[in-house]
Amino acid sequence: MSASAPTASTSSVRLEDSASPALRPPPSDSSSAQPQHPRKRRRTDRDSLSYALKSGLAGGIAGCVAKTSVAPLDRVKILFQTRSPDYHKYAGTFLGVFRASKDIYAETGMRGLLQGHSATLLRIFPYAAIKFMAYDKIHNTLMPTPADETSARRFLAGSTAGIITTGITYPLELIRVRLAFESHHSVKDRASLLRTIRAIYQSPPPVAPSSSSAPAQPPPPAVKPSLTHFYRGVWPTLVGIVPYAGTSFLMWGFLKQDLMPRYLSPSFRHRHRAALDLVAGGVAGAIGQTTAYPLDIVRRRMQVGPVLHADPLRGRAGFWETARAVYAQGGVRNFFVGMTIGYIKVVPMNAVSFAVWVAMKRGLGLDEGRPQRDAEALKDEPEERA
């Protein structure tokens, strides 16, 4: 009996000794090093070339998908904005966009509704890629943590990204507008990309010969071919892109990171994240469009000026002269011609653009911070409700 007691006590001591390592906390150096490693790697990845290229790829694909979804509406909107003689009669009416689209389709088919879309895709992929890539870079620089995010910094990041993108890709935008503006009544007479580029380079177009009975007029001053013609209207574009891009990214960040998390549960946001991305992108695009639309009208008129006017001096009017001409033709209301179709086009285009961009980033493994926080919130949510 006396011999068995020490054996029992010895076995209990051994059990306690074997179980004690499991109860002991891990060494302090390993516990501190473990959570620090992924943070450093994530910060380094965001500054790497691979992250930038993947972000640009996601943005370029998102822009192409969004533009293709509204290409016919974009053609009609440009015709309304520039007061095309063949389609201006439809502007300002509720069903004008559908009537104009019907006429274009009857004359030249689906290719007429997609006229200029090839130039649009050539422009929109680098435009969207540079815009989203620049926004990501500027956003990570100005707001490295969620605590650093403010409305002013979001606006600054979006507007700066828009200015950088516009300065690089503006010639492609001018070519696209010229292609969309030229109205033709047969398939054989449709616009050509190379012919449009040549016409812009040699701008303005040649003056039509006058009849023999008309009094002789002095020839207009010659304008030398120049690459600067591809930047006609760039200044109102740069001025207009500041409120448009700045407000769009500001509203996107506010809706996604401030408003929705405040009123919607993490589980709801996780289940309906695609729909919420579409809603946030559409609202951001609508507000951005409203702030920049009058400048967009002036920009379009300056871009197609050499086509509308045979007189080179009128075709090369500056910003304020063009703005005064717009006001003289219809007052303040004339600065908002085509705005209805602008909403019909911009809201779905921005909704698709932002949603596809975020989805592509998720697919490429770039969107790490927010989904991880949502996942952690999803784990804590049942405990909070309990």
Q: How far apart are CA 76 and CA 91, in angstroms?
A: 10
The answer to whether 353 and 66 are in contact (CB under 8 A) is: yes
The mean per-residue pLDDT over the stretch 18-47 comes to 50
Q: How far apart are CA 41 and CA 257, in angstroms?
A: 24
Q: How many domains does the chain fold into?
A: 1
The mean per-residue pLDDT over the stretch 131-155 comes to 93
Close Cβ partners of 330 (under 8 Å, ≥ 6 residues apart)? 337
Q: How far apart are CA 123 and CA 65, in angstroms?
A: 13
The sign of the dihedral angle between the CA atoms of 131, 135, 137, 141 is positive
pLDDT tens digits, 96-134: 777 787 887 788 787 777 777 877 788 889 999 999 999
- Domain annotation covers residue 148: yes
- Domain annotation covers residue 77: yes
Indicate the pLDDT class of residue 30, thresholds 50, 70 and 90.
Answer: very low
Indicate the pLDDT class of residue 26, thresholds 50, 70 and 90.
Answer: low
- Domain annotation covers residue 29: no
For the cut 50, the answer to whether the pLDDT of residue 40 exceeds it is no
Helix axes 234-254, 151-181, angle to 10 degrees: 130
Rounded to 5 degrees, φ, ψ at 232 are -70, 125
For the cut 90, the answer to whether the pLDDT of residue 64 exceeds it is yes
What's the whole-model pTM score? Answer: 0.66
Domain span holding position 376: 49-203+222-380
Q: Which residue has the higher pLDDT, 38 or 166?
A: 166
Instruction: Read off the CATH number of the domain in which 277 is found.
Output: 1.50.40.10
State the pLDDT at residue 188. Answer: 56
- Domain annotation covers residue 312: yes
State the pLDDT at residue 85. Answer: 66
pLDDT tens digits, 258-311: 999 999 999 999 999 999 999 999 999 999 988 888 888 887 787 776 555 444
- Domain annotation covers residue 241: yes
- Domain annotation covers residue 5: no
- Domain annotation covers residue 104: yes
The mean per-residue pLDDT over the stretch 307-324 comes to 63
- Domain annotation covers residue 13: no
Most confident of 117-121, 144-148, 235-239: 144-148
